[in-house]
């Protein structure tokens, strides 16, 4: 059995159910604020899954390289290795406000310290990176295909501890996400993502602080779910909001699986602001040719599971067309994954996100201006980083195509 904690309080128990499923039951006396998800209110009846874990519990399970590493390290002990096993390993340290322990264990994230400065100064061939994965894999309740770990930076932890609030005294959680890359598969991925995030910043979207390591060896991102008092906000990605498993992250349309869900969960008074942000984010993904904007790359955040949910800050934007020139969108728009042109984007903004025609045009123009500005930064960076040159050339070519097609009315 796995015990689920919500905001550091015991919320319920997950158990295996049938051959492949799971069941979750809230503890008796749980108050509504203990809800594990905005999609799973507190109730007496259990929540059953015929296959795997409920989407909210599966949300942060590592995929790709990190999952494989944990499987190799832990499969021997259990004989088999499934999502339930993986959750018991990475459950103590997770993105968002839920944590998982054995039934009788206390909560203790206990993430080891790792200086972010040291990571930023390390070079690609440095041993630090294999060491990071080795040491932090089992503290990394964070999804995604790219190798990455959650770390606790001593400097940041001190700031949190210095805060007057009581909870911060015992802060032992992770403060940053460190994203690495495989040179054989995705060369210069961190620099690619860095400049896509810079672009999002120039578009005045909310982006957590992020830093690129020397020689582009890693991208270090501040956790946007960590509050100043050392507690964590709720995070739910759009797989969860659609009740879908991670395996279905590429299935769905912008119209229903993203925009309709935003309308379902964001309060009316915040809906205009968040619809504008979402429109900018979708248009930006199209303009930079990010073919990986799937359901787990959009999320909602909230302070209180019963309170207001808002569109999460921007994360994981990459010009994937650098690596897959024929890449298309991860989700459909008007039933197709073909990159939309400016006319279709404009229509999306007006008819689905309820923007005025002039507001939609303004947002698209803002993205165009921000792309020109970021382009200058890419040129400056590539001068001192010849290893980025090929990827920079390819990125800028894709941005040109994207800008022409997606932002300029024909
Ligand atoms: N700054 C952040 N703060 C908190 N959580 C984050 C942050 N950035 C990303 N996340 C969470 O971590 C998950 C994985 O991060 P990210 O999407 O950047 O990884 P990835 O490996 O590039 O993903 P993909 O498999 O989509 O390529 C996200 O889906 C999101 O839930
Ligand atoms: Mg992602």
Residue to probe by mutation, ligand 1, list 95, 179, 220, most atoms within 8 Å of CB: 95
Domain tally, the chain? 3
Once rounded to an integer, what is the mean pLDDT over residues 296-318?
98
- Same domain for 315 and 182, yes or no, is no
Per the structure block, which two tokens stand in for 267?
């309060």
The answer on 397 and 303 residing in a single domain is: yes
- Considering the domain architecture, whether residues 80 and 201 belong to the same structural domain is answered as no
Domain boundary, last residue among 167, 187, 222 = 222
pLDDT at 80 over 60: yes
CA distance 131 to 180: 12
Q: Is 365 helix (H, G, I), strand (E, B) or coil?
A: helix
Ligand 1 pocket mutation, candidates 96, 144, 320, criterion most atoms within 8 A of CB: 144
Q: How confident is the model at residue 114 (pLDDT cuts 50, 70, 90)?
A: very high
Q: What atom of ligand 1 comes closest to residue 249's alpha carbon? A: 26
Mark whether 266 and 178 lie in a shared domain.
no
d(CA 123, CA 190): 13
Residue 241 sits in the same domain as residue 359: yes
Q: How far apart are CA 324 and CA 308, in angstroms?
A: 38
Confidence label for 40 from pLDDT (cuts 50, 70 and 90): very high
Do 273 and 363 have their domain in common?
Answer: yes
**In this model, does residue 207 exceed pLDDT 90?**
yes
Q: Of all protein residues, whose CA lies closest to atom 13 belonging to ligand 1?
A: 143
pLDDT at position 78: 66
State if residue 95 touches ligand 1 by the CB under 6 angstroms criterion.
yes
Is residue 334 scored above 90 in pLDDT?
Answer: yes
Q: Give me ligand 1 centre to Cα 176, in Å.
A: 11
Is 101 among the domain residues?
Answer: no
Whether 158 is in a domain gets the answer: yes
Out of 64, 142, 236, give the residue to mutate to test ligand 1, the one with the largest number of ligand atoms within 8 Å of its CB. 142
Last residue within a domain, chosen from 196, 222, 248:
222
Protein residue with its CA nearest to atom 18 in ligand 1: 316
Q: What is the pTM of this model?
A: 0.97
Same-domain pairing of 350 and 280: yes
Helix (H) or strand (E) holding 168: none
Lowest mean pLDDT among 149-163, 254-268, 359-373, 378-392: 149-163
> Is the per-residue pLDDT at 79 higher than 80?
no
- pLDDT at position 29, please? 95
pLDDT for residue 27: 98
Which ligand lies nearest to the CA atom of residue 147 in the structure? 1
- Expressed in angstroms and rounded, the spacing between residue 317 Cα and the centre of ligand 2 is 8
Cα–ligand 2 centroid distance for 46 (angstroms): 30
Q: pLDDT for 281-295, tens place per residue? A: 999 999 999 999 999
> Model confidence at 75, in pLDDT bands (50, 70, 90)?
confident
Q: Kindly tell me if the per-residue pLDDT of 166 is higher than 80.
A: no
Q: Is residue 107 part of a domain?
A: no
Task: Please name the residues in contact with 309: beta carbons below 8 A apart, sequence gap of 6 or more.
Answer: 38, 234, 236, 265, 266, 267, 300, 301, 302
Q: For residue 17, how far is its CA from the centre of ligand 2 (angstroms)?
A: 29
Average pLDDT over residues 325-340: 97
Domain of 19 in residue numbering reads as: 2-95
- In angstroms, what is the span from residue 357 Cα to ligand 2's centroid? 31
CB 288 within 8 A of CB 401: no
Q: Is residue 106 part of a domain?
A: no
Would 100 be classed as within a structural domain? no
Given a cut of 60, whether residue 256 has pLDDT beyond it is yes
Mean pLDDT of 24-37: 97
pLDDT tier, 120 (very low <50, low <70, confident <90, very high otherwise): very high
Q: Is residue 110 part of a domain?
A: no
What's the gap in Å between 293 CA and the centre of ligand 2? 8
Residue 127 banded pLDDT, cuts 50, 70, 90:
confident
Q: Which ligand is in closest contact with the Cα of 222?
A: 1
Q: Is the CB of 207 under 6 A from ligand 1?
A: no
Q: 169: pLDDT confidence band, cut at 50, 70 and 90?
A: low
Q: Tell me, what's the pLDDT at 123?
A: 81
C-alpha of residue 343 to centroid of ligand 2, in Å = 28
Is 108 part of a structural domain of the chain?
A: no
**Residue 402 belongs to domain with CATH number:** 1.10.1070.20
Nearest atom within ligand 1 for CA of residue 292 = 26
Q: Mean pLDDT across the stretch 3-32?
A: 96
Ligand nearest to the CA of 177: 1
Assign 3-class secondary structure to 235-277.
EEEHHHHCCCCHHHCCCCEHHHHHHHHHHHHCCHHHHHHHHHH
Q: Which helix (H) or strand (E) holds 333?
A: none
Indicate the top mutation candidate among 140, 296, 311, 319 to test ligand 1's pocket, ranked by most ligand atoms within 8 A of CB: 296
Q: What is the pLDDT of residue 165?
A: 56
343 CB burial (10 A radius; 0-12, 13-18, 19+): exposed
- Are 204 and 245 found together in one domain? no
Average pLDDT over residues 246-261: 98
| Contact partners, residue 73, CB within 8 Å, separation at least 6 | 137, 138
On whether both 66 and 148 belong to a single domain, the answer is no
Strand ordering across the sheet containing 47-49: 47-49, 21-26, 9-17, 2-6, 98-102
| Ligand 1 close to Cβ of residue 285 (< 6 A) | no
Q: What is the pLDDT of residue 53?
A: 98
Same domain, 215 and 240: no
Domain C-terminal end among 197, 222, 247 = 222
The answer, yes or no, to whether any atom of ligand 1 lies below 6 A from the CB of 143, is: yes
CA distance 180 to 189: 8
Q: Are residues 270 and 153 in the same domain?
A: no
State whether 183 and 44 are in the same domain: no
Per-residue pLDDT at 8 exceeds 80:
yes
Q: Which residues contact 384 (CB under 8 A, 6 or more apart)?
A: none
Relative to the alpha carbon of 60, which ligand is closest?
A: 1
Q: Flag whether 111 is in a domain.
A: no
Q: Is 371 in the pocket of ligand 1 (CB under 6 A)?
A: no
Examine the pLDDT at 338 and tell me if it is beyond 90.
yes
């Amino acid at each position: 059995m796995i015990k689920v904690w919500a905001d550091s309080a015991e919320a319920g128990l997950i158990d295996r159910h049938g051959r492949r499923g799971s069941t979750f039951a809230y503890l008796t006396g749980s108050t509504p604020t203990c809800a594990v998800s905005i999609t799973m209110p507190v109730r007496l009846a259990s929540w059953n899954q015929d296959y795997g874990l409920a989407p909210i519990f599966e949300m942060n399970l590592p995929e790709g390289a990190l999952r494989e590493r944990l499987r190799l390290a832990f499969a021997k002990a259990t004989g088999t290795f499934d999502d339930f096993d993986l959750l018991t390993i990475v459950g103590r340290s997770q993105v968002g406000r839920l944590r998982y322990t054995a039934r009788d264990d206390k909560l203790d994230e206990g993430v080891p310290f790792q200086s972010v400065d040291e990571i930023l100064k390390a070079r690609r061939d440095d041993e630090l990176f294999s060491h990071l994965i080795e040491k932090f894999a089992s503290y990394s309740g964070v999804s995604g295909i790219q190798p990455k770990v959650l770390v606790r930076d001593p400097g940041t932890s001190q700031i949190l501890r210095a805060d007057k609030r009581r909870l911060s005294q015992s802060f032992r959680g992770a403060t940053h996400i460190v994203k690495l890359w495989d040179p054989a598969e995705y060369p210069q991925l961190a620099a690619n993502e860095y400049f896509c995030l810079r672009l999002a910043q120039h578009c005045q979207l909310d982006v957590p602080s992020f830093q690129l390591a020397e020689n582009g060896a890693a991208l270090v991102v501040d956790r946007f779910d960590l509050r100043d008092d050392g507690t964590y906000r709720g995070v739910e990605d759009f797989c969860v909001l659609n009740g879908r498993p991670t395996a279905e992250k590429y299935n769905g349309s912008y119209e229903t699986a993203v925009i309709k869900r935003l309308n379902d969960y964001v309060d009316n008074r915040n809906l205009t602001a968040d619809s504008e942000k979402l429109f900018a984010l979708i248009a930006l993904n199209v303009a930079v040719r990010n073919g990986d904007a799937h359901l787990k790359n959009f999320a909602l955040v909230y302070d209180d599971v019963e309170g207001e949910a808002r569109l999460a800050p921007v994360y994981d934007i990459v010009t994937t067309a650098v690596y897959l020139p024929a890449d298309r969108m991860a989700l459909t728009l008007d039933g197709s994954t073909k990159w939309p042109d400016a006319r279709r984007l404009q229509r999306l903004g007006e008819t689905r996100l309820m923007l005025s025609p002039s507001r939609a045009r303004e947002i698209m123009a803002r993205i165009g201006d921000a792309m020109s500005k970021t382009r200058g930064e890419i040129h400056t960076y590539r001068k001192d980083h010849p290893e980025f040159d090929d990827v920079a050339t390819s990125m800028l070519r894709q941005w040109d195509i994207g800008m022409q097609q997606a932002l300029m009315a024909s």
